[in-house]
A = this chain, B = another copy of it.
Amino acid sequence: MTSTTSSSGKNPTVFEVAQHAGVSAMTVSRVLSGGEQVAPATRERVLSSVRALGYQRNNVARALRPGQRSCLIGVVVSNIDNPYYSQLVIGIEERANESGRRILLAGSSEDDAREREIIADFLGWRVEGLIAVPTGSTATWQPQHLGGIPVVFASRTLPSGQGDSVVIDDTGGAREVTARLLARGHTRIAFLGNSDRVSTGRRRYRGYRDAHEAAGLAVDPGLVVRGQPAVANARDSAMSLLAVPGPPTAVFATNNRYGVGLLQAMAKLHGHHPANGPAIAVFDPFELSELVPWPLMTLRHDPRELGRQAADLLLRRLDNELTGPPQHTTLTTSVLEQSP
């Protein structure tokens, strides 16, 4: 019952299996693909040879044949360091796995050139499709660079509206949080968020600004900080913001990197005592939000579900269940208010 390794020491091929089973390579191929007409006795013989030799199909050779799908999906994430995007990748992996596909993963680190290299390389692997959190460069994604394969944008879209997309309701969510803060009497609400370069930055800022306009108030540019910083820098930004004379009475961190930075700054300034610190709002749920000792508003949404839906869109394109113009899905958010 012990399995014998191929004597050559190399991976056995269909020909070696065929020889071992006394059939042709075609028959082995048919047995392995399933669904083809093969005599039961032959099938058994082949399968036992497969086991005996420890045969494992060479996906590379298989994928080279025209008409064969590679069963590979390329996933490019702008900032793989962000736990929000880790969740997104998990959602994609889950669905890819269910459909018998694998994911090739790479992070662009918000770098256009890197992003371009990654997709070129992924295309070289003949991925069936791409799922991307784009850095913001439109040029990268021009159809002629994509070899005709479908792309789904996740979390961020391209200004052109090109490609399918799944995003959350950035504008609506940011507007609601800001409106709630304004309704509580805050008039100096700081904004920490992405630059206009990325769609989430544009849209969340728009929601913040719209809520001010609706309330007949102007945004104070001195309370607005925008960029794509790491947590440490986000914390420093938050520190300076809280230290200015005439500090904000509320701070809205519009992504989880700024959220964590802001909370670290608050902990440093106020310890665990509410004191006279500003009200806090964070766009993105985060683990341990129940430990925050200050009144907190969290805009909840589910990055893993976003990943699943992005994968679903792509898989439906691949199966031709979905055809025609780009489909744009927007997931809703919900506000959670908590007081310690």
Residues of A within 8 A of B (CB): 3, 5, 9, 11, 54, 56-61, 63-64, 70, 80-81, 83, 86, 89-90, 93, 97, 102-107, 120-126, 144-145, 147-148, 231, 260, 263-264, 267-268, 271-272, 286-288, 290-293, 340
B287 touches A126 (CB 8 A): no
Contact B106 A97 (CB under 8 A): yes
Number of copies: 2
Partner of A293, one of B60, B86, B286, B293: B293
Docked-complex contact A9 and B148, CB < 8 angstroms: yes
Contacts A60-B70, A264-B288 given: A105-B103 contact, CB under 8 Å?
Answer: yes
Query: A104 contacts B106, CB within 8 Å?
Result: no
- Measured CA separation A220–B121 after assembly (Å): 56
| Residue pair B57, A124 in contact (C-beta under 8 Å) | yes
Q: How far is the CA of A63 from the CA of B61 in the complex (A)?
A: 9
Complex Cα distance, B97 from A220, in Å, reads 42
Give the docked Cα–Cα distance between A124 and B5 (Å).
16
Assess whether A56 is in contact with B120, with CB atoms less than 8 Å apart.
yes
Q: Would you call A123 and B271 a contact (CB within 8 A)?
A: no
B64 and A60 contacting across the interface, CB-CB below 8 Å: yes
Point out the residues of chain B lying under 8 angstroms from A271, CB to CB.
340
Residues B104 and A90 in contact, CB atoms below 8 Å apart: no
> What would be 25 A-B contacts, judged by CB atoms less than 8 Å apart?
A9-B148, A54-B145, A56-B123, A58-B64, A58-B126, A61-B64, A80-B93, A83-B287, A97-B107, A102-B122, A102-B125, A103-B104, A104-B104, A231-B287, A260-B288, A263-B288, A264-B290, A267-B290, A268-B290, A272-B340, A286-B287, A287-B287, A288-B291, A291-B291, A291-B293
